[in-house]
Structure 1
Amino acid sequence: MLLHAWLLLVALTTLTSGINPGVKVKLTQKGLDYGREIGIASIQKKLKTIKLPDVSGSQKVNPIGKVSYSFTNMHITNAGLPQSAVSLVPGAGIRLSIGNAYMSLNGNWRVKYLKIIKDSGSFDLSVSGLSITTTIAVNSDETGRPTVTGNNCAASVGDVSIKFHGGASWLYNLFKSFIAKALRSALEKQICPLVADAISDANPYLKTLNVLAKVDEYAEIQYSMVSSPVISASSVDAGLKGEFYNVGKHQEPPFTPAVFTMPSQSSNMLYIGLSSYTPNSAGFVYTTAGALSLYITDDMIPASSPLRLNTQTFGTFIPQIAKQFPGLMMKLLVKAGKSPVITFESNNATIKASGTVTAYAIQANGTLSPLFVLNMDGSVSAQVFVSGSRLAGSISLNELNLTLGTSYVGDFQVKSLDRIFQMVLKVVILPKLNAHLAKGYPLPTIGKMKLVNTQLQILKDYMLIGTDVQFSG
């Protein structure tokens, strides 16, 4: 899995333009340390793939003269990275430091001297005190997704010890210092390219960032990048667009994100702040798409309810309906007039909405005869929660105010209809909305990223999600 788990967290922080974000992300030191644990295991695996070239040559040795030698079939048998640390370098990136690493390898040796005498055997080489440092730079590609590269890598080998097997023991000392120096150089040259490869191997995973995430047939949410990350000594802070769009049509809402400030918390690996701009852009999308309208018929009312959608029931409150349209079923059209507005206060999310209710009598031939139009204003409370990697919720009615817009049956007291429309809201409209809200919409994630130990707070103007993460696959 290479370094991708750690770098995928960092990926959420690579941004490119200059508008206020609708969503903010904070990656803490705890998050970096989690990624380091996975990344170190991946680098260790990568180092075991080192392939050292055969080494051959000749050396003049007194008193026997020129001795030809070769060291072949060298391969790594073990590698360990017991000490490592990751830190943030303001303005540069993320520094990975590895110390007191060790490696071991074995191979074959062969010598020829006095033109006719040959000797051979095997050897084991142990490397200790290996150190590696590199800086990981985070950028964005043409799609707005993050890419990572390793820069300024340095690797040095501490001690090298060799144990020869087979052959004449007096030959060993001739080559110990030479082969140790040659293999030290060969190792140091290969380590940094392998570390750079391990970092680059994360890029295919980074391409799975849900920059444009489908919500349903009406909406998708964009998590494109809006500014460069701000790297401090303790966290990486960045912003994502966090805006809903109509599927296939990117129409900006008539409002912009307000500035909000994330708190300096660090007990979780990752913090995601979602401003009221994000759900308000969703309201704009669904209103523009005409999705916030619903025809209500009598078969949608529970059979146990004494209130029915027919002219007999409504005639009890508006006698002229029963007189003009006796014995007919009715249909209601509930339609949003403008986009709902959500506000966040401490521990409270409130949605204010307005619209119209048009009542029709259904004639025997199916023709709809309009009876009246009511203006409707109300508010609901929202309960918000994280479900998997999605933000979900439910709503409950706070208040409902009805006023008469147009009447086709003469004047009547709108107040007398409150009971009916309270019932319609509670047993038909709110359950349908809650069923949709329970599905939630996707949070910014990459690959098989799982949110764990998640907490959600509603604060002034935004929601704060604190979470740890796990990666699999």
Structure 2
Amino acid sequence: MEAGTGPLLSTLLGLLLLSTPGTRGVNPALVARITDKGLEYAAKEGLLVLQTELQKITLPDFTGDFKIKHVGRGHYEFHSLEVQSCELRGSSLKPLPGQGLSLAISDSSIGLRGKWKAHKSFLKLQGSFDLNVKGIAISVNLRLGSDPSGRPTVTASTCSSRIYDVDVDISGNVGWLLNLFHNQIESKLRKVLENKVCELIQKSVTSDLQPYLQTLPVTAEIDDILSIDYSLVEAPRATAQMLDVMFKGEIFNRNHRSPPASPTPMMSLPEKECKQMVYFAISDHAFNIASRVYHQAVYLNFTITDDMLPSDSKIRLNTKAFRPFTPQITRRYPDMNLELRGAVVSAPFLNVSPGNLSLAPQMEIEGFVLLPSSTPESVFRLGVVANVSASLTFNNSKVTGMLHPEKAQVKLIESKVGIFNVNLFQAFLNYYLLNTLYPDANSELAKGFPLPLPRNIQLHDLDLQIHKGFLYLGANAQYLRG
């Protein structure tokens, strides 16, 4: 039997986006829902590959003795059997509750060609024959599990193949040989061919699909700080028309992982008809954990110095240029540079409600004068509230985002240099945020949040829905050959 049948079952299971089982009882932050349309596509793609692979089957020779009236005793041999054609017409891939998947193939045929020899005493006959095997039915159950390392495993728990009709065309005027075929050889050929089909699938699962699944990582990197845990919280849940694969979806600091501060809330996914092959439900909890990790790593803090301002800015960060904000600053600190340090007070959480994404980060900005000794001295503190809406899109492998801020509101917390013009500073700050800080943040968001897609799967016909507490991303999928 030929190797290289990995694309068959990797196609079938590729759409399942499988990873490794994790701790049961934990709500998933990410769910992949594979619909009946997605399973139908996987079966269709797998059928094309199986059809090619079945043409590589090699069959044994059939030999034996015969005794025929008017002919007597002799010896026969059917040899050099080769598959000439294979046509698999019907297939279905269905969830198998509590196990995995059930693949059924029906109404299929295989055409073979071979040679025959027969001899009795000194009489030798030979020729060729064509064989059409029709009404082939194949049934395979694939059981999904995990190994001690937590990575996915797959086994073909059952496989059966049935052949319901065999037609043979033997060259020459040898009706007695045709009868011999139907009487002695046909049943042997049926059994061998049925076993060969299941042998092909069993070997494919062990030698190709299992190693393919072992390449799936349990984590994926988001950026220099964040990674995401794609382990499953429980076995896939199968219903009559779909399969839900529940991922932990926990985002963590890749340099210092710590337990999440709060459990993931349960998501109530839509039960209406699913028009696309696969859907991803991503809890707002996943994004909020990311925000918390960023905050703990002080990744959201920022510093503004004069050399960071646009060259055409009318306001510079030095005490002379800052006199319109606070007149007394030049008297106390003449000709000195300033530095603004911004810190997010708490991790800004994403509010996900039907049709709307928003967040309201609260910051404090502290102004420092850089003394001649280069020692910074605090001179004022400001509170900042920014209302920001967000939009998300996703390409064939990642979710990407963009922030759309409103004008930030500023209030004075403390001033050590007397009167402070809050409104003027608010205008300056908004100019900087809109032209520098938010564009930088959007550049980072454009890098994307990776979806748990296996190798060679690409998404298209993308659709984004916003529900209460989670995003619902629908797409059709394509298996890329090669």
- TM-score, normalised to structure 2, is 0.92
Structure-2 residue corresponding to 1:197: 203
Establish whether residue 231 from structure 1 lines up as the match of residue 238 from structure 2: yes
Q: From the superposition, tell whether residues 461 and 3 of structure 1 become closer, same or farther in structure 2 (CA, over 3 Å).
A: same
Deviations 1:114-150 (A, max 9, x none): x322222222111111111122222233444433322
Instruction: Give the SS at the match of 2:67.
Output: strand
Instruction: Give the SS at the match of 2:257.
Output: coil
Q: From the superposition, tell whether residues 382 and 143 of structure 1 become closer, same or farther in structure 2 (CA, over 3 Å).
A: farther
Aligned AA (1:306): K
Structure-1 residue corresponding to 2:281: 273
Establish whether residue 421 from structure 1 lines up as the match of residue 429 from structure 2: yes
1:205-216, aligned counterparts within 5 Å?
A: 205-216=212-223
> Shift of residue 328 of structure 1?
2.3
Deviations 1:259-298 (A, max 9, x none): 1111124101001011111111111111122211222122
Residue pair 1:215, 1:442 contacting (<8 A) in 2 also: yes
Q: From the superposition, tell whether residues 75 and 102 of structure 1 become closer, same or farther in structure 2 (CA, over 3 Å).
A: same
Structure-2 residue corresponding to 1:345: 353
Q: Which 10-residue stretch deviates more, 120-129 or 55-64? A: 55-64
Aligned AA (1:124): D
Establish whether residue 130 from structure 1 lines up as the match of residue 136 from structure 2: yes
> Shift of residue 110 of structure 1?
1.4
1:68-107, aligned counterparts within 5 Å?
A: 68-107=75-114
The one of 328, 335, 341 equivalent to 1:333 is 341
Instruction: Give the SS at the match of 2:37.
Output: helix
Residue pair 2:252, 2:258 contacting (<8 A) in 1 also: yes
Aligned AA (1:104): G
Q: Give, in whole Å, the separation in 2 of the partners of 1:172 and 1:427.
A: 86
Structure-2 residue corresponding to 1:394: 402
Deviations 1:17-71 (A, max 9, x none): 2201111111100100110111111111221122211111212333443211122
Determine what percentage of the aligned residue pairs are the same residue.
Answer: 32
Establish whether residue 57 from structure 1 lines up as the match of residue 83 from structure 2: no
Q: Give, in whole Å, the separation in 1 of the partners of 2:415 and 2:146.
A: 58
Q: Give, in whole Å, the separation in 1 of the partners of 2:73 and 2:164.
A: 31
Establish whether residue 261 from structure 1 lines up as the match of residue 251 from structure 2: no
Q: Give, in whole Å, the separation in 1 of the partners of 2:328 and 2:102.
A: 79
Residue pair 2:323, 2:330 contacting (<8 A) in 1 also: yes
Residue pair 2:42, 2:93 contacting (<8 A) in 1 also: no
Aligned AA (1:103): I
User: How many aligned residue pairs are there?
Assistant: 472
Q: From the superposition, tell whether residues 67 and 175 of structure 1 become closer, same or farther in structure 2 (CA, over 3 Å).
A: farther
Structure-2 residue corresponding to 1:158: 164
- TM-score, normalised to structure 1, is 0.93
Residue pair 1:260, 1:461 contacting (<8 A) in 2 also: yes
Structure-2 residue corresponding to 1:321: 329
> Shift of residue 98 of structure 1?
1.3
Structure 2: gaps (5+ residues): 1-6
Establish whether residue 109 from structure 1 lines up as the match of residue 116 from structure 2: yes
Establish whether residue 25 from structure 1 lines up as the match of residue 39 from structure 2: no
Q: Give, in whole Å, the separation in 1 of the partners of 2:261 and 2:299.
A: 18
Instruction: Give the SS at the match of 2:200.
Output: helix
Establish whether residue 39 from structure 1 lines up as the match of residue 46 from structure 2: yes
Establish whether residue 303 from structure 1 lines up as the match of residue 311 from structure 2: yes
The one of 182, 190, 205 equivalent to 1:184 is 190
Establish whether residue 436 from structure 1 lines up as the match of residue 416 from structure 2: no
Structure-1 residue corresponding to 2:462: 454
Structure-2 residue corresponding to 1:385: 393
Q: From the superposition, tell whether residues 168 and 23 of structure 1 become closer, same or farther in structure 2 (CA, over 3 Å).
A: closer
Residue pair 2:68, 2:176 contacting (<8 A) in 1 also: no
Instruction: Give the SS at the match of 2:32.
Output: strand
Q: Give, in whole Å, the separation in 2 of the partners of 1:418 and 1:137.
A: 61
Residue pair 2:267, 2:470 contacting (<8 A) in 1 also: yes
Residue pair 1:87, 1:94 contacting (<8 A) in 2 also: yes
Q: Give, in whole Å, the separation in 1 of the partners of 2:467 and 2:19.
A: 22
Establish whether residue 8 from structure 1 lines up as the match of residue 17 from structure 2: no
Structure 1: gaps (5+ residues): none
> Shift of residue 173 of structure 1?
3.0
Deviations 1:169-206 (A, max 9, x none): 55443334322222112111211121233444333333
Q: Give, in whole Å, the separation in 2 of the partners of 1:40 and 1:14.
A: 27
> Shift of residue 353 of structure 1?
1.8
Aligned AA (1:106): R
Q: Give, in whole Å, the separation in 1 of the partners of 2:195 and 2:166.
A: 15
> Shift of residue 435 of structure 1?
1.1
Q: From the superposition, tell whether residues 235 and 175 of structure 1 become closer, same or farther in structure 2 (CA, over 3 Å).
A: closer
> Shift of residue 112 of structure 1?
1.9
Residue pair 1:210, 1:445 contacting (<8 A) in 2 also: no
Aligned AA (1:315): R
> Shift of residue 463 of structure 1?
0.7
Q: Give, in whole Å, the separation in 1 of the partners of 2:88 and 2:466.
A: 42
Q: From the superposition, tell whether residues 14 and 269 of structure 1 become closer, same or farther in structure 2 (CA, over 3 Å).
A: farther
Instruction: Give the SS at the match of 1:439.
Output: coil
